[in-house]
Structure 1
Amino acid sequence: MIESATRELHKGTLVPLRLPSILSFGQAMAKLGFVQRLGLRPGEVEDAARRLREMRAEAGSMPDATALELLGSFEEPGVPHLLQAAQALAGVPVEALLGFGRAVVELRRGDLERITAERGGGGEAAGAAHNDLHGAVLAVKGLEISTDAHGGVGALNLERLEMTPAGIERGELVGTVPLAPLEQTAVTQKEWSVQKKEFTSIVTDSLETLSETGVTDNTELSQSTNSQQEHSNQFNVTGTVSGGIPVISGSVTSSFTGQGKESESATESRKHATGLTQKASSRAKQEHKVTIATTTVTGTSQTTTRTLRNPNDTNPIRVDYYSMMRKWRVRLYRYGLRSTYDIVLPEPASSMRRAYVELTALKARLGPFVFDLPHSDITADIRTGDPKPPVTDPPTPDQPHYLVLADRYHAPAPPPPPAPTKIINLSADDLNLGVGRHSGKVTVNVPPNYRIASILMNASLEHAEHDGRFTVMGTNISFDPFGHHKDYVDFALFAHDGSTPFLLNATESQPIRMLFEDVNSATITFTVRCVPTNESMDQWRADVWNGFYNAAQAQYFAEQQDIAGKIAALEERLTNVDTLTLRREENDEVMKGVLRYLLGTRFPTMPGKVLAAFEKANVDVTHGTAFETGAIKPDAEEWTLVRQYEEIVRFVNQAIEWENVVTFLYSYFWDIPASWDFIRQLEHPDATRQAFLRAGSARIVLTVRRGWETRWANFVDRGLLDDPREPDPESPYWTIAQEIAAYDDRNYPGIPPANPGKTATRLEDAVITTSPVSVSPSTGPVAIQVAASAGFLVGAQVVIDSVRGLDHNQEAQTIVEIPDATHIKVGKLTKAHTGTAASPFSVVQPGEKGELIAEWNEYTPTSGIDITVTYNPAQGA
């Protein structure tokens, strides 16, 4: 037995416990979480109470006036004092709270049906009503689960598996050479050995979220290995070994009933440990590892020819080749017990998913460039829907629509072609006037790329003796006589139809002909307004559109590059994180979820008034530098609001072994169905983080720190903070906590031997015997008849009796004498112990290593070969 080469593996067995009965009172924290998850709205408590009265609810399912007043305090937006509320809720029967919760569910179901009927089943109001109903249903279901016979209470058995090399033994037959009398044969044996060693720096993340770093020779049994050694000869001797060691095994069918629970838990541990060692010569812990490896491969080959001869002239012989097996002595110790408290958290990684929501939104913005501005939208008109310019004095005129677009695309826009006006003045000197009929002509030269839009005429005419006549040929001016004088003021010239402007859309040079009769003098002015042609405006729109397109495209590509950079930076921040930091982040999220579960979703990690004080002081609240600036001192009045919660947070962090919290992740379909597709697509190179991100819910097993069992029981059951006193009336939570604390102090006494082979007496192992007699309490030494006193030591402490139910029948005393082989004498007895031949009570001397609950041998193959020679095989070896 090579004790110095012992390998150790720590493990744990989780055993949920059952309370003696379903509790009506107590369970303060479960009730507090239920009320806060209801999210009561103003007036809802009164409506629910009215509904319960209308339903003529039974007395036990109807909260009294005090309880209704307490529930009404949760309708306010603020948070009532948590511990006072929890302590008050501890006295409210579970049946009353469940009845109240079901009434709230019915009220909200009616509200949803009414909103659906009024608004056709859609809209924001219907969605809010559906969420309120869903929250109430989950709150009621959660209270039913947390107050059942299980109550979240459990025990975690701390165990250690020790594997010690115990020598080399002959294994199975791998080859045989038979020889007849005087026969001689040559045997060629070729041996080769290839050995591969890796010295690896390993960062290991265990289930308890601890990390260990070490340098490991991978040829050893205890570490994750990649070691291979082969030895072959002419008989082709080979060996293949594989194995795996999970860390936590679960036993979910045990109950806290003393001997029965421990026996079943021990059986589960033995099964797990036996399966652990049956197939392995190199064992691999199934954990995530980051490694930096240095590999060395060496090989040798040797060929040997041997002559085998049977010297006997009458009897044959047989030469047998056997593989050599390494023998391991395996012991399973149980060295401690921890109280546990189970809770279930929805969406444990909800905060972490926000980064993936941002990443998804950024990726959705990546795509081809699309510019959907129509050419017709480029116009110099002023549109009513365009943004107004800032108010100035004097007022700024509204912008044409193309300038609004220019501001939108951050691009310069040339103005449209101007609308020039040509003025042609004619006087008497330019015209041949007088008695009789005369004509006149003037030519309008339209600029290139323009057309005539309208012509206005201003004229002053006089005649000498007779009535004068005047017309512009082709227009709507009649050649009717006029009196002594005739004026035309801004007279619009139209064609004969009276509606079409004269010379509309005419280009290049256009004549205007006039006809006079008996006109003595005239002064005429033609104002010709020209506008760009359609082709010219199309060209302007195309130029402006191209400018907008190029500017928008440049902006889009710059934005796409910026988005790609943000995506790369975000992915780098999400994926390029060391494993230890990932586990710490997940542990922080679990801790935050536990606090919210225990103290409610409205528990303020930073009260609103304190945050308002920071913002009022104009400090940087985004980057967490408020105290650095000195704007608010830690002793300020606003900061005192935080102190009422400091004790709660401090207690929860001290009472729970956060380094030993066990998390069981449940699949995505335990989340809201609308989020299933998104959750299933979340990816991360670290498999543990990916599973955490995709978890719809998580079962969190909180391990209560040693020495805090009764305080924790008072906290979750009565809302009492850091109070070790026994509650009145006594609760099963308190009793179980006392039992686990006492049981852990005594190194698991009372467990029967795991197998008959456990007979060795070692100081590091426990010594167990039984007593078939009854003994009474005594203040002096008491001799106890036992089955055997071998292995017990004077001065050692022994634990007498086992846990029977919850009656505190166990005690620890000191051995003062060992009279003979069937008696031990202890200093005193404080309790009576009843034993019979059929049902003796146990007497245990705990060991230093803990309680040895199983011991067995295992064998693993080696590369060695053993040879035996058998004479006269027909008669046996």
Structure 2
Amino acid sequence: MPGTPMESVFKFVSVRPPQPVAETALPDVVIPYDGPFYDGSLIERVIQRTDWESAKALAEQAILQAPAVLDFQDLAHSSGFAAFRAALGRGLPANMTTADVERLLGGSLGAAVGQKPYPSAKAKILDVYAAHSLLPGNLPEQREKALLSLRTLHLLQALDHDPAVLGDHRRLRRVSRARVILPGAFLQKKSIGRGATPQARSAGAPVPPPPPSGTPGFHSAGFERLRDLYAVRRELRAARRRNRQERTVRRSPRPSTGSAEQSAEDGVASSSTAPSPRVLLPAVAETISARTLGFLTGEGVPTDRLNVDDGLRAVDARIRASRTRFFEGVPTPVMVTVDRLADPGELGTDVQELPSGLFGTTVSTGPVGTTPQEGVGPVRPLGIGELLVVEQTLQRYEAGEISYVENVLQTEHLSRSFRSLNRTEQTVFTATSTTEQSEHDLQATDRFELSTQAQKTIAQDQSVQAGVTVSASYGPVKVGAYGDFATSTSTTESTSSATTFAQDVTERSVSTITTQVREEQTTRILQEFEERSEHGFDNTHGTANVAGIYQWLDKKYRAQIYDYGQRLMFEFLIPAPASYHLHALANQPMAGVGLSEPEPLGDLRPADLNATNYQDYVARYAVAGASPPPPETTVLSTVFEQTGLNATTLVSKSNAALQVPAGYRAVSGRFVDYHAWKGGGGHYLIVLIGTQQLDSASGENADVALDGEDTVVPVGVFALVWGYLVTIEVECELTDTAFGQWQQETYDAVAAAYQAQKSAYDAQVSGAGFTANSATYGGSENENLRIQLEELKKGSLTMLARQYFEDFDAMSLTGTASGLPEFDVDEAASEGAYAQFFEQAFEWGQMTYLYYPYFWMNKTGWLERSALVSGDALFGEFLRAGYARVVVPVTPAYDDAVLFFLSSGGRIWNGGEPPTIDDPLYVSIAAELADATEGRTAYGEPWDVTIPTTLVYLKSDSTLPDWTTGAP
């Protein structure tokens, strides 16, 4: 039936892997980097750099020197090359010949391309374009000129090699739009040198200053600072122990000789065991790291005579201040984990990085700034999606099966009358729809019944898969089980699969229509109207019986799949996509409940509490009467003095009142004394501390190690002098048992405060009428859909760009001068451009997704998630999902920019055509998308479709149809 317009039946997307570019076709589609053709190649120099700043400086220099390079100054007849470039920019005419090319060049094509400096001139232009790819915001108009210049030289080489290119419009288009290929080591250069990573920091590096709250890298930088402060603290405590060991000697008790030191003259002497025990000895001070010394200097603690206790007080104060900022709003279980990682203890090993996702983020070690941090996730393109549309055109009508036979005998008169009684008789079935039948002499049919029924069939197919969705504009997405690259039969298999899917839908749709036609004949609905019509058959004068055969009329359609274009498709696998939504619901205030649910303690243990962190837990749970930890050391002291003695009387004094506090043990003793004697006789002074004795006259300069006495330390003086003054000190150390007791008591107080808060909260919730299972999940269908799409989109962006949205703080809601919400203009510009790119680069409205069951998530969440229900079946699948599989197409204008984003480590391209990385997958994708045809093209082979109608046709004779002969 010529001239019958094509009708669209339904559409779908077939996803296949990109086709590898044949080696012979590569020169047509890419401009590769073949290595340095001249000394000082920018690409080579940038690749050799180990820091971003020097690479950036090289690129800036190349951009400044670019005008001369882009004027083809190294080539003869440079004006001719410029003329051909201008013609290429306008678009080469379809009938262009080699003579036209040479006229523009002002000479022979072979001579122009055969110039000796041609390769180096092309390499220098490639360097200019490469420099712009590192700094795409610098002189974008010059960047486009560099790209056009590169294509000019590339096309001229192709024409010189094969003049037939000019006669092949499609090949000419492909060569003139060849893609620039740059090494991956060059495009990803910006990922180097972006601040010292935790692994690169040495013990000599200074403790970093704290970053502002909420800034990029806040959690990672805050963790680094805490970790380094705890390392300083451990180093100072270890130095204090070494200092005590260096100062302390251990003597065996020695018997008294009964002799005294003889002196002919009167005298006064003093002695002491050592300088202040808090000051590090030179041998110990020399072992302190540069990091710790730098910290102490910054805190104003003198380091020439380092008092270790002053240093510990300074670092403890800094740790407490850093913890207050760092753990604000952080759940208790996370705080416990970070504490253990930041301060692993004396025998632990420093952890270099926080575990990924501990704060809902990946650790960022980049510098603090106003631009969102660059990054790219472990994502690669899924493949090429082809938008396929099944269209049909009506070919003809054909007589089908017999509808009924009207028999009129010879001499018989047969008449029928129709009378409407306006009466309805209806048999009720379980189905909610009814089919009506009315008889009329004139009958009509619906041209679009196949399209309508095909859409219903597709909807039925999709509904049996939990959570499968259909794109609003593209229909269902069919994805083949292929890897990154297709085999030689992939395209054929994809076409065959698409055709089979289309035929399957249409054939089943026809079957449904046929069934409906039969149902119409057997329905029990009768409608009669108040109208009469009669017709009859008069064979009274006939010579034979008459048989009128009525046949159903069938429509014959020719169906064909058409390819309406290609889309670059991405696939994302999102774990537990409803997690944030459920967390937000759980943290919404409930009506009638004024208390907040306290943070659970998690796996907090008594051993986790110490002098630097216990206050955080005390404050968080409002613990009353919590005691600070006992000091690590305490000093006992006493004084002995006596005057008015004579040279012949021995004096001894003892004092058993040095009571060791409970929980401590004595570890060392020392004394200082002044004594006087009368000349002409002997004199001595001996000090006893515990089981140790020290002779003032011996000149020994050391503390004495004690025996760990935990009740009393006996001390005494034995002297033969005229007078003396002796001060004795005993240093005691807190025992592990006593510290563990304080930890247990503090933990018990924290746990009791938590239970009290939890009980009060539960009581309010119970009083307000809430139960654990009373939460209603989901709202209207539209609202549920909005929530799903937003969470899936957010998860996809996190996978694509490692983006956790911590950097988006251009709008300040609090803390402004006016007290009103205000935003930073510069930060808004950079953040807005970043957000705009991802919003426009993907066709989020065409996203399709499939939910996987709950058992693909963390097992600890199975019990809760598997029981979640919703009145909206699809939303229920979303709530329970352990993973979501998301497929989303790239906006065609952003294909190159998205590929550049992935290949460059997360850089946003701000207009124009970006380069392509020298990865076969990306080269294949770029080449295939660039070579995509415009408009529609036939896809596979057409097939015939038969559609029954409700029309009947009177056969011209009374012979029965015989389909065995091929003619009804």
* TM-score past 0.5 threshold: no
Taking structure 1 as the reference length, what is the TM-score of the superposition?
A: 0.40
State which structure, 1 or 2, has the greater radius of gyration over its C-alpha atoms.
Answer: 1
Superposition TM-score, scaled by structure 2 size: 0.36
Higher percent of residues as strand: 1
Structure with the higher fraction of residues in helix conformation: 2
